[in-house]
Structure formats: structure tokens, C-alpha cells
Chain A
Amino acid sequence: MLTYVIRRLLYSVVVLVLASMLVFVFVTKSGDPLAALAISPNVSEITVQNIRERKHIDAPIHERYYYWVKDAVTNKFGTTLLDNRPILPDLWRVMKNTLQLVLVAELLAILLGVSIGVYSALRQYSAFDYSMTTFSFLGLATPVFWLALMLQVGVVQILERTGNQLFPIASLSAVDPGSGLEFWIDRAHHLVLPVLVLMVVNLAVYTRYMRAAMLEVINSDYVRTARAKGVAERRVTMKHAFRNALIPLVTLVALNFGALLGGAVVTETVFSLDGMGLYFVNALLTNDPYPVMAWLMITAVMIIIFNLIADIAYGILDPRVRYD
């Protein structure tokens, strides 16, 4: 087990290094972030020249990569290209915001998805099962950004007809959110729609997954044995079937959560939430390699850690799995 974890981590380091090289080349070659600055009348040539020198822009690409690695290790990912702003504090801020969104949405999606999936499986081919299957098919076929926009459209239409704005459709807080409880109520109000979008998308996946896992377990030999030896039906479903059906879901949730910590890029963009996803898109739009690289490293590490957690959890929950 320990050798397995160590080997996986070593392999991940190789992946990280390769990925960082690739992305660094991609971002630095994709455009000149200083081009707009250079032709701006408000910026003197000396300023541009200073930036060029500070960030070694004119050095060959492999030297620039070396400077980046040095900066990342010794100086906490360094600063942004244009305004020399420290990157890490910004990243922690947006990550905190993303966590609020993702945690609530995931928790709701898991709770609802598990209950709906289990109930669907227990009442297979019932009206409930069919409507939930339809719902998850719809959920899987709906683009996330469109769902978010349609909710906004709904809010705007209601606002036009009744003069009532049910929910805010952009940003994380009101202009003056107050403090303490007031702040959190305002934050919750702002998060209703984004959470709803993120939840629905994941709910569709979890429901289908849980239903399939539960069906498989219900028809397995050990559940039949439990029934045959006279265990009460309730105990069979809850103890013998349900607990085993949860195992594959643990993996799925861990993988999904790791990926979501990189920010729900689309949801955050549509609702202009100051989270990881929007941060990444904005960094990419300004062609600034440094925040993009920092974002990528942190996100990739998260994904790797949660992948590892998923694998280890699977081994603990299902002793039949062997690591080799």
C-alpha cells in the first residue's frame, strides 16, 4: 500500500513537470501580453522595458521556464506580468470563494442523488424511476452555461413583469454586504442560482450512477443469501445493499470534487463569481503565463491528491481490491 502511494506520487510529479512545461510553452507562445501596453499612449516605453527585463521576456523559452520555476519555488509563484501583483494571495481568495460554492452544491447533489438513485433502484420501472431517468438524461444533455443563462433569463423576465428581483444574477456579494450574519445572508442569497446550476449538473450524474450501483448490488448473490436466511427487508436494503452500492460513488465524488476545486469555470463565468474558474479564464484572456501556471499547478495537485484519495478509499472500503 505504502509503496503504491509512493509510486503514484512519484509518477504524479513527472506528470506535473511535463504538464507545466507544455502549458508554459502554450501560454507564452499564444500572444504578446505587452503588445497592447506598448501602443498605449499612457504607458511610457521605459515601463514596458522594465517589465520585459523583470520577467526576462526576451530570454529563450527554456530560460524563461527556468526563471518561472525559480520564482515559483522561492517566491510563492511570483507576481503577475503587468501590474506585478503577488499571485498567491489572490489565488487563496478565489479558492475560498470556489470552496463555498462547490461544497454546498456537491453536498446537496450527493444527498439528493443518493436518495433518488436508491429509491429509483428499489422501485425499478415505476413512474418515479422513469421520471428521474428522464430528468438525468435531460441533465446530461443540457449545456451548463445555458442552464445558468436560462435561470438568469427567468429572473430578468420576472423582474420585468413584477418588478421583483428574486435573486441576484451576478457577483458574490452586494455592493455593501454588511458584516457578520448580514454578510452571510447576502452571500447565501447570491449563491442560490450558481449552487442550483452546479447541483443539477452533478445530480444527474450521481443519480444515474447510484441507481446502477444499487441495482447491481440488489441482484447480487450475497443480498439474495441475506434474504434467504430471513434478514428483514429493511435491514437487507440498508445494511447489505446500500452500503456496498455506495463504494463506487465514493470514487466518483472524490474525482469530481478534485476537478471542481479548479473552479466551476463555466458557472463562475456566467455568474461573474470571483472564483478559481473565472480567475483562470481572465488570466488566460490577458495572455499572462504566470497566474495561469500557478492556477494549473494548484489545480493539478488537487486533482492528483483526490485521485489518490479515491483509489485508497476504494481499497479500504472494498477489501477485494489489491494494490500492486
Chain B
Amino acid sequence: MTERQPRSDQRAQDQDQNEVSLDSANVARPAGAHGYAGAVAVANEPEGPLGRPELATSDTELAVAYEAGVAPKARSQWAYARIRFFRHKLAVLSLIVLVLIGLVALFAERVAPYGFEYIPFTDAEALLENPNLIQESLNRPPQLEGKHLFGTDNLGRDYLSRVIFGLRTSLWVAFFVALLSTAIGTAVGAIAGYYGGVVDNLLMRFTDLILTLPGLAVLLTASAFLGQGDPLKVGLILAALFWTALARLVRGTFLSLREKEYVEAAKASGASDARIIVRHMLPNSLGPIIVNMTLVIAGAILVEAALSFLGFGIQPPNPALGSLISQGQAEGLRTWWLVTFPGLTIVVIALAINFVGDGLRDALDPTQRRVRA
């Protein structure tokens, strides 16, 4: 997210897109000239029905402060996006929660009180010390004072530790799916939108084909075919289905960007297709791409959990939240904590990601409305 310096071949783009980023070159300007930059920022805000009034006012304030020379320096497009994001309190809070959960998953070995498969009474020494260990550890409900915050299962395994390890796999799969499907979707959409014609037709018909298929059924069949259990395979299968929405989105953006003057200018100055796509058009469609990525992460977590629960996703010995819930179901519903806590973890993650996505949409994609289906 470095501020781009206007270069000869990019000047046209910068002038077209945002007057603000010109200011990042730190050109000294009289105070009066700054008013325009502020005005552009206001114009970027969602106008009309669904724009939130409080946002508009505060940006107007910004512009006013700017004009008065109170605001010390000009801001790039990204800086404005950052400001807009941090104004979305729920999104910031969710981001903090996500980072914390991510850290727990990353350092699972150190954070988790026990190992994923640690069964207390297989520990001979501990058993010698306390002969009642078996009775004590089986199927214990969660205790606030004791060691087992999420309770234990019928082998005495600590469920908090199991959830933490499951969290790691589930998050890994979700991010993997998000990255891969974003890469595929962007590439397909960019190529289809940039070249148009036959290429566009072929790629979009292919995208439609995948969209027409019953999604869950294809997922189930594919994982039955490829063999389940392995997080990498599950991630690949999910990514193969998740890229379609983004491909359509990017194609739409590229179709309209293609007609812009700065693209024409780049073409006239002899830039290659690849350069125009990557350096000129892609940066201008990053907003929707990033927002879509958050949607994919949330979706992938939910779908992976469902697959693992049905027995077609990640399977033991690989830990995953979905299969932990299915273990809880298999042990009967009396031990309610075995079902409740892994599921609650999924809800918290999905909720937080959705909120972050909402904040990012407000910040990066001001033309999109906040309230969408």
C-alpha cells in the first residue's frame, strides 16, 4: 500500500482517478488549492439513499479542516480508505478479535493447555500419582475454575486444546481458499474483461457452467473422488468452486475500465497488455477484490465446517472444527459442550470476518452501498 509516485505513464491514470494522490508527491501548494482535494474525497463517498450521514459530515469536516490549513498533509487514496475503515468501530473491534484468534491458531502448540490427542490416563506417571484419574477426566463438563474451559470428551481429552488445533486447520484452509480463488477469479475476470470477444465468451460460459451446478453436491462428489481428510485437498476443491463470483465482478470492472482514457494513453505509449492489466487496471479494481476476499474467507470456513461435519472434508487425525462438532454429535447430545464450543468458535470467526468485510467495503469501495444482500 505504498503511495504511488506519479510517473510519466501513470500520470494520466492518477489525474483521472484521484486528484488526491497527486498530492502525495508533496508538492507545496497554497491552502486554497487544497480545497479541491478535499472535495474529491467527499465526492467519493456513497451519495444518495444509503450513504450514512455521519460519514459524509465527518469527511466534510475533514475537507473544511483541510481548506483552513489545519490538516497538515495531503492524503493518498489508501490513507482515506484507512481513515474510513477505522471509523467503523465494529469492524475495528472485529479485526482485533480476528488477529487475536489468528495468533492463538498460529501459536497453537504454546497456547493450548494440552496436545490435540492428549489422553490423560495414557500418561502412566500421572495415573500412578492419582488412581482416580480415569474417573475424574472422562466427560467432564466445562469448569470455570478448573483446567477444562470447554470440557473434556469421553476419552478425557481437553476440548479447548482440540478446538485450538482445529481452529488452526480451519483458518488455514479458509485463507488458502481465499488466496487461491482470488488469484483464479482475478485472472479469469481480467483476461475476459480486457480482451472481450471470443475469449470473454468462452471464459464466461465456463464460469456459468460452474455456477449452474448444485454447489454442495459437486463439493461432496469431488471430495469423495479426490479422497478426503487432507486439508490441502479440501482447500483445492473449495477454491475450484469459489472463484466464479469474483471472476464476474472483475470482468465487469475491467469492461468499464477498458474504455478509460488512461488505458488508451498507456496503449498509445506502447505498454504491453500484461503491463496495462497489472499496472494500470488491476490497482483500480483492488477494492472490490479485497472485499470479495473477506466474503470468501467467511464462506469457506462455513462450507469447510459443513463438509467436515458430513464426513467429506477434513477428517481425523487432522483436527478441524467441523469434525470436532461431528464427534460431539457422535458422543450423544448429553455432553452439550462438545457441540456448543467448536460451533460458537465458527460463529465468532465468521461474524468477525463479515464485519471486517463490511468495514472494508465502506473504506475501499465507496461506490458500493453498505447494505447489500
Which A residues are closer than 8 A to B by beta carbons?
11-12, 15, 18-19, 23, 26-27, 29-31, 137-138, 140-146, 149-150, 152-153, 156-157, 160, 169, 205, 208-209, 211-212, 215-216, 218-220, 248, 252, 259, 262, 265-266, 269-270, 280-281, 284-285, 287, 292, 295-296, 299-300, 303-304, 307
Contacts and interface: CB of A to CB of B under 8 A. Distances in A.
A287 B355 CA distance: 41
Given A211-B371, A300-B214, A138 B347 contact: yes
Contact of A31 (B208, B224, B298, B329): B224
Interface string B207-249: 0110011101110111011010000000000000000000000
B225 A26 contact: yes
A160 B298 CA distance: 35
Given A15-B212, A140-B354, A262 B217 contact: yes
A209 B196 CA distance: 32
A266 B313 CA distance: 14
B146 interface: no
Interface string B340-363: 100100110011001100000000
Nearest to A266: B306
21 contacts: A29-B225, A140-B354, A143-B306, A143-B322, A143-B346, A143-B347, A143-B350, A149-B329, A156-B333, A205-B373, A216-B49, A219-B48, A248-B373, A262-B214, A266-B306, A269-B310, A280-B220, A281-B310, A292-B221, A296-B214, A296-B217
A287 B306 CA distance: 20
B339 A146 contact: yes
A248 B373 CA distance: 10
A297 to B, nearest CB: 11
B305 interface: yes
A262 B302 CA distance: 20
B45 to A, nearest CB: 16
Nearest to B311: A285
A300 B336 contact: no
A24 B214 CA distance: 15
Contacts of B333: 149, 152-153, 156, 169
A191 B212 CA distance: 29
Interface in B298-335: 298, 302, 305-306, 309-312, 322, 325, 328-329, 333-334
Contact of B225 (A30, A144, A205): A30
Given A27-B221, A215-B50, A149 B325 contact: yes
B280 interface: no
B369 interface: yes
Contacts of A142: 347, 350
A303 B221 contact: no
B224 A265 contact: no
Contacts of A31: 224
Chain B residues touching A, range: 35 or more
B339 A149 contact: yes
Given A143-B346, A266-B310, A280 B334 contact: no
Nearest to B370: A212
A201 to B, nearest CB: 11
B354 A153 contact: no
Between B209, B214, B351, the greatest number of chain A beta carbons within 10 A of the residue's beta carbon is seen for B214
A303 B216 CA distance: 13
A252 B372 CA distance: 13
Given A212-B50, A215-B371, 17 more contacts: A15-B212, A23-B221, A26-B221, A26-B224, A31-B224, A138-B351, A141-B354, A143-B346, A149-B339, A169-B333, A208-B373, A212-B373, A270-B329, A281-B310, A284-B221, A296-B214, A304-B212
Nearest to B336: A153
A261 to B, nearest CB: 10
B351 A137 contact: yes
Given A18-B209, A218-B49, A265-B216, A160 B334 contact: yes
Contact of A287 (B224, B336, B340): B224
Contacts of A156: 333-334, 336
Nearest to A269: B310
Given A27-B224, A299-B214, A153 B340 contact: yes
Contacts of A262: 214, 217
A29 B224 CA distance: 9
Contact of A265 (B302, B310, B346, B369): B310
Contacts of A169: 333
Contacts of B372: 208, 212
A150 B339 contact: yes
A23 B328 CA distance: 32
A11 B204 CA distance: 13
**Closest A-B pairs by Cβ, 3 of them:** A219-B49, A141-B350, A146-B343
A150 B340 contact: yes
A143 B349 CA distance: 11
Between B225, B325, B354, the greatest number of chain A beta carbons within 10 A of the residue's beta carbon is seen for B225
A216 B48 CA distance: 9
A146 B310 contact: no
Contacts of A149: 325, 328-329, 333, 339, 343
A167 B185 CA distance: 45
A303 B224 contact: no
Contacts of A152: 333
Contact of A146 (B205, B213, B214, B346): B346
